[in-house]
Amino acid sequence: MKMSGGLYEDEYFWRDHQAWLAESGYLLRPRYRKDWEPSWLKSKKFHLLCEDGKGALRNKVMDAVRTSDRRIVFLKQVKKSYCPWEEGINRMFTMSGPLASDRHNCVAPVYEVLQSPLDKDIIILVMPYLMRINGVRFATVGEGVECIRQLFE
């Protein structure tokens, strides 16, 4: 799309995988559906004021809703030829690997690894949606101290 707020070239990957991801149990934002019509065209609002008018901040990652439990998850696109070790490292630390049950292991878990049906060189890691540390407001000083302790652990 060439209109303001339309899909960027980097977002085509997610648009092209949207139906398959939905079949796999992950819903993307309406912006990535094949039949998407920008909401601001009818409302006459500036596109950045509409939820579907904002593109992805990073082209290799995307938020989605897991349909089984309505949890927001994080999808990460990985090109195996570029990062051949990423899936193995994630499995070692988070799935069934030897470090998965280590109480000192603080790596964000990988819930699932999906193989792209459109490109055998691409996998999608499904992970929890995490928040930025600078967006957290601690209720007590003790919570802040405990956070810092865990960061340095």
3-class state of residue 55 by DSSP? coil
Taking the domain 9-152, which CATH number applies? 3.30.200.20
The rounded distance, in Å, linking the Cα atoms of 20 and 64 is: 13
Whole-number Å distance between alpha carbons of 32 and 45: 20
Locate the domains of the chain by residue range.
9-152
Q: Are 100 and 93 in contact (CB under 8 A)?
A: yes
The dihedral built from the CA positions of residue 125, 108, 87 and 101, taken in this order, carries a sign that is negative
Average pLDDT over residues 15-41: 88
- Per-residue pLDDT reduced to its tens digit, 94-143: 666 677 677 777 778 888 999 999 999 999 999 999 877 777 788 999 98
Using CA atoms, how far apart are residues 66 and 126, in angstroms rounded to an integer? 9
Q: Which range has the top average pLDDT, 29-33, 57-61, 89-93?
A: 29-33
**Predicted local distance difference test score (pLDDT) of residue 77:** 95
Q: Look over the chain and give the mean of its residue pLDDT values, rounded to a whole number.
A: 83
pTM: 0.77
pLDDT over 70 for what percent of the chain? 84
